[in-house]
Amino acid sequence: MKLKRVLALISAAALSVTMMTACGKEDTSSEDGDKNAENKKIGIVQIMEHSSLNTIRDSIVKRLGELGYKDGENCTIDCQQANGESTTVTQILDQFKADGDDIIVAITTPCAQLAAPYSADIPVVFSAVTDPVAAEIVESLDNPGGNITGTSDALEISKILDFAMTATPNLKTLGYLYNTGEDNSVSCLEKVKAYCKEKNIKLEIASATNTSEVQEAVSTLADKCDAVFSPNDNTVAGAMGTVAEVMNKAKKPMYVGADSMVQDGGFATIGIQYNDLGIETANMVASILKGEKKAGEIPVKVFNEDLSTFINRSTAKAIGYEIPDEIANAEKTVFFD
């Protein structure tokens, strides 16, 4: 999918001609019905390019098409990414507002936090925000308030780490790899600390503020730990190829927070399929654009049920892990190669 701003200009020009033509005519909109999709402008912003976020973005666009919002045909969908820079996110949001976008979709916690103030003028739907209440994006999950709502990829930390202890029975020291600037990763760290304290596991922590720092951070943990865990951290996800290479060489498992991070080389996780996040996010967008509900009236959808086990078979082989039959044959086990 390649979306160009020229489509927005063409759409705006066509709308202007239509409006000028209609100026001398009687309003017949009530007779023609509400053409909800026609000329709508949808702005989608993600913090950076990586598999998890691209999966959500592509799923949103696909589902919107199924719901009648087809980019380049009857609406404009402008997808932008910020290369990990918050200042770029703000510039993108400013452009969405200047373009007169009808709705903003913000993928990830950093984007949602920056997009929240724009909801005073434009409905905002976020996706893949781990804890939107703690991040001060919504007032509550059931009643977001304001003009904003979305979907949450809240992690079931205890289930992931329970699986890690079963798959790595000699787990005495766990590494935690994250970006201190990502609120979702900070909130997950507190849960990991509590789990490790309860299970008497030593916790080693390493951070990276950008993808270029990830290799050094994960190398440090690989030397000290029996296994390493990273939540759905965008910085780590953007460098999963490097992370997998380091951990595979050390013959140690890398547990992660997203299915796409397993697809990109992580060993395993337990969670949701990120494609589902995109589908539900698009459903919310369509509902708002059709005038069925206001954004703040739609409860935040938290995906914490019907979880699957995701395992990368190539990584399992690289670290010498034999997948037990009870896991391999389970209905909710998904493999990547």
Q: What is the pTM of this model?
A: 0.77
Within 10 Å of residue 9's Cβ, how many Cβ atoms?
12
Give the start-to-end residue ranges of the domains of the chain: 5-13+37-153+274-302, 157-271+307-336
**The pLDDT of residue 4:** 37
Q: In the prediction, which pLDDT does 36 show? A: 62
Amino acid identity, residue 33? G
Give the span between the Cα atoms of 275 and 51, in whole angstroms: 11
DSSP secondary structure code for residue 2 in this structure: -
pLDDT at position 35 is 54
For residue range 73-117, list pLDDT tens digits in order: 999 999 999 999 999 999 999 999 999 999 999 999 999 999 999
Q: Collect the ranges in the chain with pLDDT lower than 70.
A: 1-37
Over residues 274-328, the pLDDT tens digits come to: 899 999 999 999 999 999 999 999 999 998 778 999 999 999 999 999 999 988 8
- CATH code of the region 157-271+307-336: 3.40.50.2300
Q: What is the token pair recorded at 233?
A: 């951290």
SS3 127: strand
- Three-state SS for 150? strand
Asked if residue 157 lies in contact with residue 187, where contact means CB atoms within 8 angstroms, the answer is: no
As a CATH number, domain 5-13+37-153+274-302 is 3.40.50.2300
pLDDT for the residue 51: 86
For residue 212, give the amino acid letter.
S
Q: Which pLDDT value is given to residue 310?
A: 96
